[in-house]
Chain A
Amino acid sequence: MLPTISPRRMAFNRFVSHKAAVVSVFILATLVLFVALSPFTARYGVNEAVQAPPNYFLSPRANAWLGTDDIGRDLYSRLIYGVRVSLIIGLFSAMISVAIGCLVGSVAGFRGGRFDDVVMRVTDLFLAFPFLVTLLVMRNMLGAITWLTPVIGELSSVRFIIVLFAIFGWMGVARIVRGQVLALKEREFIEAARAVGASRWYIVRRHLLPNSIGPIMVALTFSVVSAIIGESTLAFFGYGPQAGAGATSLGILVGQAKGAVNTGFWWLALFPCLTLVTIALTINFIGDALRDATDPRMQKDG
Chain B
Amino acid sequence: MTTPVLQIRDLKVTFSTPLGPLVAVRGIDLDVHPGEMTAVVGESGSGKSVSFLAAMGLLPRTATVEGSVMLDGHQLVGASPKLLRSIRGRLLSMIFQDPLSALNPVHRIGAQISEMLRAHSSMSERAARIRAVELLEIVGIPQPGDRALQYPHEFSGGMRQRVVIAMAIANSPKVLIADEPTTALDVTVQAQILEVIQRVQAQFGTAVVLITHDLGVVARVCERVNVMYAGRVVERADIGTIFDEPTHPYTRGLLASLPQAGVERLVPIAGFPPNMLNPPTGCAFRTRCEHAAEACGQRLPELEPLGNSMTACIRAKELVGR
**A and B: direct contact (Cβ < 8 Å)?**
yes
Interface on A for B, CB 8 Å cutoff?
1-2, 302
Q: Which 7 residue pairs are nearest across A and B when measured between Cβ atoms?
A: A1-B275, A2-B275, A1-B272, A302-B62, A302-B60, A2-B277, A302-B61
Closest CB-CB distance, A12 to chain B, in whole Å? 16
Main secondary structure of the interface of B (DSSP, over half): loop
**What residue in chain A is nearest B62 (Cβ atoms)?**
A302
**What residue in chain B is nearest A301 (Cβ atoms)?**
B60
Mark each residue of chain B from 261 to 283: 1 if its CB lies under 8 Å from any CB of chain A, else 0: 00000000000100101000000
A302 to B59, CA, bound (A): 12
A1 to B287, CA, bound (A): 12
A-B contact pairs, 7 of them (CB 8 A): A1-B272, A1-B275, A2-B275, A2-B277, A302-B60, A302-B61, A302-B62
B-side interface residues, number (CB < 8 Å):
6
Mark each residue of chain B from 59 to 79: 1 if its CB lies under 8 Å from any CB of chain A, else 0: 011100000000000000000
Closest CB-CB distance, A122 to chain B, in whole Å? 34
Interface on B for A, CB 8 Å cutoff?
60-62, 272, 275, 277
**What residue in chain B is nearest A1 (Cβ atoms)?**
B275
Q: Point out the residues of chain B lying under 8 angstroms from A1, CB to CB.
A: 272, 275
Main secondary structure of the interface of A (DSSP, over half): loop
A239 to B251, CA, bound (A): 78
**What residue in chain B is nearest A17 (Cβ atoms)?**
B18
Q: Point out the residues of chain A lying under 8 angstroms from B277, CB to CB.
A: 2
**What residue in chain A is nearest B61 (Cβ atoms)?**
A302
A213 to B61, CA, bound (A): 35
**What residue in chain A is nearest B18 (Cβ atoms)?**
A17
Q: Point out the residues of chain A lying under 8 angstroms from B272, CB to CB.
A: 1
Q: Point out the residues of chain A lying under 8 angstroms from B275, CB to CB.
A: 1-2
Closest CB-CB distance, A9 to chain B, in whole Å? 15
Q: Point out the residues of chain B lying under 8 angstroms from A302, CB to CB.
A: 60-62
Q: Point out the residues of chain A lying under 8 angstroms from B61, CB to CB.
A: 302
Closest CB-CB distance, A293 to chain B, in whole Å? 15
Closest CB-CB distance, A121 to chain B, in whole Å? 30
**What residue in chain A is nearest B60 (Cβ atoms)?**
A302
Q: Point out the residues of chain A lying under 8 angstroms from B62, CB to CB.
A: 302
A302 to B18, CA, bound (A): 10
Closest CB-CB distance, A302 to chain B, in whole Å? 7
A287 to B61, CA, bound (A): 30
A222 to B291, CA, bound (A): 59
A2 to B277, CA, bound (A): 9
Closest CB-CB distance, B284 to chain A, in whole Å? 14
Q: Point out the residues of chain B lying under 8 angstroms from A2, CB to CB.
A: 275, 277
A2 to B45, CA, bound (A): 15
Closest CB-CB distance, A301 to chain B, in whole Å? 9
A69 to B60, CA, bound (A): 58
A1 to B61, CA, bound (A): 26
A163 to B59, CA, bound (A): 54
A2 to B17, CA, bound (A): 14
A153 to B275, CA, bound (A): 63
A1 to B280, CA, bound (A): 11
**What residue in chain A is nearest B277 (Cβ atoms)?**
A2
Closest CB-CB distance, B16 to chain A, in whole Å? 11
A302 to B63, CA, bound (A): 11
Closest CB-CB distance, B318 to chain A, in whole Å? 30
Closest CB-CB distance, A109 to chain B, in whole Å? 28
Closest CB-CB distance, B135 to chain A, in whole Å? 34
Q: Point out the residues of chain A lying under 8 angstroms from B60, CB to CB.
A: 302
A2 to B272, CA, bound (A): 12
**What residue in chain A is nearest B272 (Cβ atoms)?**
A1
Closest CB-CB distance, B32 to chain A, in whole Å? 32
A2 to B276, CA, bound (A): 10
A2 to B62, CA, bound (A): 21
A302 to B15, CA, bound (A): 11
A302 to B275, CA, bound (A): 20
**What residue in chain B is nearest A2 (Cβ atoms)?**
B275
Closest CB-CB distance, B186 to chain A, in whole Å? 23
A29 to B275, CA, bound (A): 41
Closest CB-CB distance, B279 to chain A, in whole Å? 12
A261 to B280, CA, bound (A): 70
Closest CB-CB distance, B152 to chain A, in whole Å? 24
A1 to B288, CA, bound (A): 13
**What residue in chain A is nearest B19 (Cβ atoms)?**
A2
Closest CB-CB distance, B230 to chain A, in whole Å? 14
Closest CB-CB distance, A16 to chain B, in whole Å? 13
A155 to B61, CA, bound (A): 59
A119 to B313, CA, bound (A): 66
Closest CB-CB distance, A14 to chain B, in whole Å? 11
A2 to B61, CA, bound (A): 24
Closest CB-CB distance, A119 to chain B, in whole Å? 32
Closest CB-CB distance, B302 to chain A, in whole Å? 27
A193 to B61, CA, bound (A): 44
A2 to B18, CA, bound (A): 13
A2 to B22, CA, bound (A): 13
Closest CB-CB distance, B58 to chain A, in whole Å? 16
Closest CB-CB distance, A18 to chain B, in whole Å? 14
